[in-house]
């Protein structure tokens, strides 16, 4: 079996990726420091606890498993925190990724799949966001991811590191089999916070700003189901195995929904009221992030199957209700 090193495999997206890799016949080896991940989410392959900043530990893991590729999910990813603690983002995300990339090259592991973000684009009024849109991030989270993309390009030129970069739009939903799902501490993301509020597990949702230049004044995002997202990663891995070269792909559906529209859909799916109040804007938020690219579909053959808002909320709600909330 082919080993794939999955950093952040104990986290939300990484754990779903491990399941998809195992289903595709690979052995996902999770490397995670468990700062934001959960060991009980590592179900589909071996677990190695370690930090991206620990080069000796990384070298040990590369030597032990001889992975054919790296899938790099481990990162700090909260926009709000990135505004107040940018140093953590530059250190953990950029220095940590540089360590990982150097360890991969030293071990001769030259296939790299990287989880980047649409937050690297920043605000572009009425511009279709495709992979050629200038990257002008508004926060240290997006800036850190853009920097890692640059590192990958430099390492390809110097060391032949082939890479697929995925720029995610907003990821939601959960494994429909209920084996893994979304769970952050602290939680900052819209869908889980909203489900908590519906369930009375926390106070009302605060809508961050109603004065954006959008039809209802709230921010617009392009939501993609986590299972569809990780399917694209398996296709990205095959792309590298087939020696098709380094490439950037947006992963979004092309449909945007405002915060208020997500609330309305959640009411309909759960048949419950969504308690919410209106608050000020959250620093660092872009007005609208919607993918205008069809590259992943055209070139990778990616075909999202669960990325309607209804299905994403229904899958997340089922996960939420099955008691996985309590850890
Ligand atoms: N949002 C909100 N209230 C919350 C959390 C998020 O209104 O408690 C909004 C946020 O301003 C953004 C959208 O929901 O417009 C999605 O935010 P999230 O943090 O889920 O993802 P991000 O877009 O930051 O990656």
79 ligand 1 Cβ < 6 A: yes
Once rounded to an integer, what is the mean pLDDT over residues 261-267?
A: 97
Q: What is the pLDDT of residues 37-47, one digit of tens each?
A: 999 999 999 99
| Confidence bin at 265 (pLDDT 50/70/90) | very high
Position 322 scores a pLDDT of: 85
Position 56 scores a pLDDT of: 98
Whether pTM exceeds 0.85: yes
What class, spelled out in words, does domain 190-221+254-322 have in CATH?
Answer: alpha beta
The neighbouring-strand residues paired with 208 are: 279
Mean pLDDT over each residue of the chain, to the nearest integer? 95
Once rounded to an integer, what is the mean pLDDT over residues 138-150?
A: 97
Position 85 scores a pLDDT of: 96
Where b means 16+ CB within 10 Å and e means fewer, 120-145 reads: bbbebeeeebebebebebbbbbbbbb
Once rounded to an integer, what is the mean pLDDT over residues 239-246?
A: 98
For residue 259, which atom of ligand 1 is closest to its CA? 14
User: At 148, is the secondary structure helix, strand, or coil?
Assistant: helix
48 ligand 1 Cβ < 6 A: no
189 CA from centroid of ligand 1 (Å)? 6
Distance CA 225, CA 27 (A): 23
Planar angle of CA 91, 102, 67, nearest 5 degrees: 115
CATH architecture assignment, domain 3-172+223-251: 3-Layer(aba) Sandwich (3.40)
Q: Ligand 1: which of 76, 77, 118, 190 to mutate, most ligand atoms within 8 Å of CB? A: 190
Does 327 have pLDDT greater than 60?
no
Q: Which residues contact 150 (CB under 8 A, 6 or more apart)?
A: none
Position 323 scores a pLDDT of: 65
Once rounded to an integer, what is the mean pLDDT over residues 137-141?
A: 95
* Pairing mode of beta strands 47-49, 170-172: unpaired
Position 224 scores a pLDDT of: 98
Q: What are the residue ranges spanned by the domains of the chain?
A: 3-172+223-251, 190-221+254-322
Position 324 scores a pLDDT of: 62
Same fold, 3-172+223-251 and 190-221+254-322: no
Distance CA 190, CA 192 (A): 6
207 ligand 1 Cβ < 6 A: yes
312 ligand 1 Cβ < 6 A: no
User: At 72, is the secondary structure helix, strand, or coil?
Assistant: strand
For residue 289, count other CB atoms closer than 10 A to its CB: 23
CA–CA distance from 35 to each of 54, 181, 246 (Å)? 14, 17, 30
* Radius of gyration of the chain measured on its C-alpha atoms: 19
- Just list the catalytic residues: 141
Q: What is the pLDDT of residues 205-220, one digit of tens each?
A: 999 999 999 999 999 9
User: At 154, is the secondary structure helix, strand, or coil?
Assistant: helix
| Confidence bin at 186 (pLDDT 50/70/90) | confident
Q: What is the pLDDT of residues 78-128, one digit of tens each?
A: 988 999 999 999 999 999 999 999 999 999 999 999 999 999 999 887 778
Does 149 have pLDDT greater than 90?
yes
């Amino acid at each position: 079996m082919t080993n794939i090193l999955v950093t952040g495999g104990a986290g939300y997206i990484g754990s779903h990726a491990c399941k998809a890799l195992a289903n595709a016949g690979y052995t996902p080896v999770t490397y995670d420091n468990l700062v934001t991940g959960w060991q009980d989410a590592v179900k589909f392959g071996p677990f190695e606890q370690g930090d991206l900043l620990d080069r000796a530990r990384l070298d040990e893991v590369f030597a032990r498993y001889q992975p054919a590729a790296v899938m790099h999910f481990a990162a700090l990813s909260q926009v709000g925190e990135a505004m107040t603690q940018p140093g953590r983002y530059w250190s953990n995300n950029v220095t940590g990724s540089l360590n990982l990339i150097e360890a991969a090259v030293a071990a001769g592991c030259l296939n790299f799949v990287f989880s980047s973000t649409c937050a690297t684009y920043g605000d572009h009024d009425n511009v279709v966001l495709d992979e050629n849109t200038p990257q002008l991030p508004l926060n240290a989270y997006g800036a850190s991811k853009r920097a890692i993309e640059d590192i990958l390009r430099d390492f390809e030129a110097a060391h032949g590191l082939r890479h697929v970069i995925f720029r995610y739009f907003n990821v939601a939903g959960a494994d429909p089999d209920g084996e893994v799902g979304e769970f952050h501490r602290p939680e900052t993301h819209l869908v889980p916070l909203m489900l908590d509020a519906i369930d009375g597990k926390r106070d009302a949702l605060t809508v961050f700003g109603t004065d954006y230049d959008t039809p209802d004044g709230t921010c617009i995002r392009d939501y993609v189901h986590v299972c569809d997202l990780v399917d694209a990663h398996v296709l990205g891995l095959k792309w590298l195995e087939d020696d098709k070269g380094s490439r950037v792909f947006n992963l979004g559906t092309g449909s945007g929904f405002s915060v208020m529209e997500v609330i309305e859909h959640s009411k309909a799916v759960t048949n419950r009221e969504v308690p919410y109040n209106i608050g000020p804007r959250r620093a660092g938020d872009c007005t609208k992030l919607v993918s205008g690219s069809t590259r992943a579909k055209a070139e990778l053959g990616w075909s999202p199957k669960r990325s309607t808002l209804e299905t994403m909320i229904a899958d997340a709600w089922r996960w939420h209700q099955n008691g996985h909330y309590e850890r």
